Chain A
């Protein structure tokens, strides 16, 4: 079996990379722990603020070495690794570089912090961490605080992730969700808008309401207003939808490839204006997927050019 695969032969991505960001206290860590079989890498002590009912196994990071050591322990017991928070994780990397001058010479200055070279080294540490987790096939859930940026009279909300590492993280993410409170309702949006960035690669609804799991008295709510069972599993559902969407995409891509193959076969029959017009008619009447009709149009035009045929725009036929 060939190692080179067509898009439709690709395996659906087993793990997903998600970034959740939003206001302090809105429930980012709680929502993150709703991922399948989570382990929290707690860089900023956020897990202690989560209601005990929703807490998950946690690694309380005191130095970067704890993180690398814990990664080796994750094994098969967990499906999702939660990084709480991404910005704080970078600070631990800074500290590691500071404490290892022989490994990272001239990369730290006590007065100014990381040197330019130091930022480069941290960037590589971050990229390597992402690669290591990807290799493990675990879902990776990043949590970030929000920060506000002024754009003229408007305020734009951004995830707080240090420096150019944001660039490296963003390109790896499958979903980016912004959490906000509207009155007593809490919502998460994966659709971007003027005031915040988000990423929705699996056709999620524009706005998803985050279920209230604890009442005003601090009691756990186990049923929704309609009486249906309530659990902290929203992110699990979202990840499931992502998986389903991936499978759907693969199926649709297979259908696309099939249509393109049929189109190629039909184009092979074109010998003159008559057969070209027949093929155009057949292709037009086909059920198309994605941009297959436009791909077909290009291919027919190329073949016609090769045969010296011209297209009569008025009669809409090849001559």
Chain B
């Protein structure tokens, strides 16, 4: 049926969703159903389990998650067979025999082949064989009806206008018929279905008349040798339609459903239900006797009518005065240009992001390489120092042995210091008169790759001379290290030097405006607020932490 022009809507709802929501609300009833009781009378599933299942099914339906159901396919195929027969009636002369070989499906998913005895319908790779006589007897009741009628209408609610829409199976004069199939029927099976309210509401809102809604239910019979093809018993379940009462009920239920929807927005990926699938409404501007022009919504604030317009040129001139140029022929071009601009902007943004990402990746790689180099350097220095210490140890031992055994022993006066050169070290021995010990002051020299000297000095007691030095006590783990900032440890790093610009990873979701697809893009960003190296102050440390740069490399 023809669509009437309608106001912008906040939600778009079709009846199956209301039925799914009703089923979710009725979870408590489902728990009590005998099908949910085992042989001992205990519940097979708890209320929480059933409610969770029903809620998931509802969310899946909103998100249009595909599902496979042979029962549903059997019903869909039957519906298509009925429609195909109705179409065949329309092109068959009165009193002529209906040639079921000419049945054609209009649904791409269903293939139909018929003959005098059986109509085969294939859907999702499964073929159902329907008894031809049963199908024709069933369809003939609707041969004058309008089939598969799309209808829509808005209903005003406390959440704004809501679009209700869907396809009516059959619309015969003042009755709407929905074809249902089931393996087991018990009256009244569709008492809580919302199709019986929603479809008549839409038709009535569009100026039609509906007196009742009929669920024409086919309850499938068992197949036997005598009746090998699918047939069944038809139970019409009729509901009188009262527009005023049903509108109130429908509005209240739709509002209840929207309340639920709004608390589950994060679960809903198909945004059509929130009416986010439409372009912004285009406004028209009327200029005197000139043609209306389509303009963008942003021109809303501008005056929509002009007085004393003499000609179209005059109209353009006045429009130009308020900053709107080339509205006429270029109105489409303007929108096209805007689209191009958006496209260009998107490309620029993508390039910028990519450049930044490459730079950040490079920095991370550099930091990692630096860390590796530092580790190697520390290891090398440790080994070198160990070698030196071993040599010292050995020479000291040798010296001590010499002093003890030959006349070249060194005589030290009280408080006198003697320097002994060993390898690249100078050893300063000092006789302590008070303690009568020989103290050793040891100064080691070592150089790193850039030739700057590192000095480590330690006072050692003569009694400990023979002990191997613990090199780790002498040389720190590293001169540069990666630290994790927390609120409580910031003060520990005041005064330290930060040589590298810190980097952090962020993940952003980008929405493709054409397809609605969401892509998560990970990129690295630099702190970049200082000239490096920088001596860390409390202000810088706090800024780093609050900006998300919690890992830094310090010296």
Tell whether A and B belong to one assembly. yes
A residues at B contact (CB < 8 Å): 4, 7, 150-152, 164, 166-167, 170-171, 190-192, 197-201, 203, 206, 253, 256, 290-291, 293-295, 297-298
Question: When the two chains form their complex, are residues B240 and A201 in contact, meaning their CB atoms are under 8 A apart?
Answer: yes
Stretch at the interface among B48-56, B181-189, B490-498: B181-189
CB distance from A124 to the nearest CB of B (A): 12
B residues at A contact (CB < 8 Å): 1-2, 26, 28-29, 32, 95, 144, 146, 149, 171-174, 185-188, 191, 203, 207-209, 211-212, 219, 234-240, 242
Contact flag A290-B186 (CB < 8 Å), given A171-B236, A200-B240, A297-B1: no
Question: When the two chains form their complex, are residues B173 and A256 in contact, meaning their CB atoms are under 8 A apart?
Answer: yes
In the docked arrangement, what's the CA distance between A191 and B244, Å? 13
In the docked arrangement, what's the CA distance between A68 and B395, Å? 131
In the docked arrangement, what's the CA distance between A297 and B209, Å? 16
Question: When the two chains form their complex, are residues B191 and A294 in contact, meaning their CB atoms are under 8 A apart?
Answer: no
* Residue numbers in A under 8 Å from B211 (CB-CB): 203
Supplied contacts A171-B234, A171-B237, 16 more A-B pairs, CB within 8 Å: A151-B29, A152-B29, A167-B187, A192-B239, A198-B240, A199-B238, A206-B242, A253-B173, A290-B173, A291-B172, A291-B209, A294-B146, A294-B171, A297-B1, A297-B2, A298-B146
CB distance from B87 to the nearest CB of A (A): 11
In the docked arrangement, what's the CA distance between A107 and B172, Å? 43
Question: When the two chains form their complex, are residues B186 and A291 in contact, meaning their CB atoms are under 8 A apart?
Answer: no
In the docked arrangement, what's the CA distance between A166 and B242, Å? 25
* Residue numbers in B under 8 Å from A199 (CB-CB): 238, 240
Report the nearest B residue to A298, measured CB to CB. Answer: B146
Contact flag A201-B235 (CB < 8 Å), given A291-B208, A297-B2: no
* Residue numbers in B under 8 Å from A197 (CB-CB): 188, 191
Contact flag A151-B208 (CB < 8 Å), given A191-B242, A200-B240: no
* Residue numbers in A under 8 Å from B219 (CB-CB): 167
**22 A-B pairs with C-beta separation under 8 A:** A7-B144, A151-B29, A164-B186, A167-B185, A167-B187, A167-B219, A170-B235, A170-B237, A171-B235, A171-B236, A171-B237, A192-B240, A199-B238, A201-B240, A290-B174, A291-B171, A291-B174, A291-B209, A294-B146, A294-B149, A294-B171, A294-B208
In the docked arrangement, what's the CA distance between A253 and B203, Å? 19
* Residue numbers in A under 8 Å from B174 (CB-CB): 290-291
CB distance from B138 to the nearest CB of A (A): 14
In the docked arrangement, what's the CA distance between A203 and B174, Å? 13
CB distance from A5 to the nearest CB of B (A): 13
Within 8 Å by CB of A166, from B149, B172, B187, lies: B187
* Residue numbers in A under 8 Å from B239 (CB-CB): 192
* Residue numbers in B under 8 Å from A152 (CB-CB): 26, 28-29
Question: When the two chains form their complex, are residues A291 and B240 in contact, meaning their CB atoms are under 8 A apart?
Answer: no
